[in-house]
Structure 1
């Protein structure tokens, strides 16, 4: 270490604060982060998300960040949760990805819809509180099609059915969108119930108690929340996206735009696809996803080792397989 310079080991709250104090005092500071770098979750009394917000991080569009392409093209191998996303990767960057779908705890959501006294009582708690309701999970943001769902709900014209939105706030700054959503709700004369985050233990009963589950996203990579609804036997209406056609097949109803969404929401409870939906959800398991990842890692490691061994013969090196950001 050069004379006068200081080494701070660790990047937790104390390390970051000490390093900044020393830097502001004019000292040259080195942070030792190790092989697993960390950042303080709280720093000078504020959560790191609040600091990022102050810095304008969440106000930037994805095209304003540096090296977005590098995060996609530099990884050695790529995994996507759906063929639809893998196709985007291939079309946009010419990279081939291995597709490994997510899983769902289907038995947990199926049990929440079952006849057992505890499950029945848990569903009734939500129904006493909310009445009959259309449910969506995921918060209020552009990607979730929240404004379209609001318009569709108004078109339903049934005062006995409530629109219920569960899910926490996104990390991105969608305050303007939320303000527009609130303003539009007032103009339409509707009052959706915004629950915010729901305790994980209570979520299956909330889902199972719904008359229909709506998920009109404009962009998704998979769709775990709708799959949980299918596991509970709840009618599902989603936007007509290739990824949803791939994952939900004929177990869901598909809609384009608010008017179509309203029609499908109205018709879905009369379309009995519950057995089809439960059977489909049961095919997506976490053990299967884990096993597929282990096989993928073993194959990538084997390819990497062979590449290292044949590094002196580039012409015989294996083709690098196309890490795709996991979305949805």
Structure 2
């Protein structure tokens, strides 16, 4: 089977991590897999080495003008990836997009499968239209959790197959002790969060919780890794920095972390905070469990579904401060062991087998070129013009 997996970025975001790991697992099962993506900022490859069994097509995406807004950037992203992909699209048996940009780029060339990692609610018109079309027009849907699949069913009447993420368990569970010790020597005791400073990651709430925690635990630092994003969060970042000054706290902001340094950073933490306001699975949090790091997450239905009794849950800022305090104060081998067992169950090999089973169910139905697939008369009618 010849499979194209499409993503919008080469940067270390959850959906991109998912795309590469799935591609490698599919290729290890003998499938012919190509990953297509945009190379932003001069990128010619992905944030980490990719197994050579996976073919890569990184489409150059030059920077726009200094005043280019989010909407025009979205439309330009779709147009650039579409132009590159459309001439090759017919050679694939399966075209599988992982986000709204890549789905919009792929669909004019033929049927597209879409993994909906989580549901967003955008106000930028171009992005809202991109998001809506990438939900309603693909001919088959996957989700990484039942909670998100239920959102699709309730909001759009769409039935999605649920295939959870895998996790690179051994990579995080077998962290080099010397590298872990080096992180502890550098940061002391620390709480870690990964994903940058942005609204969906609940960064302001975590800042407030950390300020409360500092009253009892002044020896503990807050370390923030990651932060690559397509969107402009400068105003949110400025508000976050102003609030940090008001609270007299000084988090350590690392920015993007080299991939080979991430396991030691996660394993070295005394607790991992995951205050996201919206998630589809929580891959970074599952990596923390693989590393044996205590986990505190926001009390969301999807995270209850995924993490069950392996995590601590917090609904408010006060709750986060209290749960982080308890995670730091009391070692809980039961939760640690439950977390490791849970993470070990989520393998990319199992996810790849389930994807292949799903792809095969489509082969005799509405696969690419099938007469049973019927597109709307004007598939771009809901999307602002790309020309």
Bin for the TM-score computed over the shorter chain: 0.7 to 0.9
CA contact (8 A) 1:141 1:178 kept: yes
Q: Report what 1:55 is aligned to.
A: 68
TM-score where L is the length of structure 1 = 0.76
The answer for unaligned runs of 5 or more in structure 1 is 1-35, 113-118, 312-328
Q: CA deviation at 1:37?
A: 9.7
Deviation readout 1:94-128 (Å, 9 max, x if unpaired):
0000011110011111101xxxxxx2211111111
* Equivalent residue number for residue 290 of structure 1: 352
Distance 1:190 1:58, change over 3 A: farther
For the pair 1:64 / 2:125, whether they are aligned, the reply is yes
- Counterpart of 1:278 in 2: which secondary structure? helix
1:210 aligned to 2:269? yes
TM superposition shift of 1:63? 5.2
The aligned residue for residue 278 of structure 1 is: 340
The change in CA–CA distance for 1:53 and 1:236 in structure 2 (over 3 A counts) is: farther
Change over 3 Å in CA distance of 1:40–1:148 after alignment to 2: closer
How much has 1:147 moved relative to structure 2?
A: 0.3
* Cα separation, 2, equivalents of 1:81 and 1:304: 22
Quote the offset at 1:268 in angstroms.
Answer: 1.5
C-alpha separation in 1, matches of 2:261 and 2:41: 29
Provide structure 2 residue ranges, at least 5 long, that are not aligned to the other structure. Answer: 1-34, 43-59, 75-121, 374-387
Residue of 164, 172, 180 corresponding to 1:123 = 180
Task: Give the length in aligned residue pairs.
Answer: 267
Q: Secondary structure at the match of 1:202?
A: helix
Shift of 1:55: 2.3
Task: Quote how far apart the aligned CAs of 1:48 are.
Answer: 4.1
Q: Which residue of 2 aligns with 1:98?
A: 161
The residue number in structure 2 matching 1:146 is 203
What are the residue-to-residue correspondences of 1:1-328 with 2, within 5 Å? 48=61, 50-51=63-64, 54-57=67-70, 61-62=122-123, 64-65=125-126, 66=129, 68-112=131-175, 119-156=176-213, 157=215, 158-269=217-328, 270=330, 271-272=332-333, 273-304=335-366
Scaled by the length of structure 2, what TM-score is found?
Answer: 0.64
| Per-residue deviation, residues 111-156 of structure 1 (Å, max 9, x unmatched) | 01xxxxxx22111111111000000011000000000000000000
- Once superposed, what is the RMSD of the aligned Cα atoms? 2.6
Shift of 1:62: 4.5
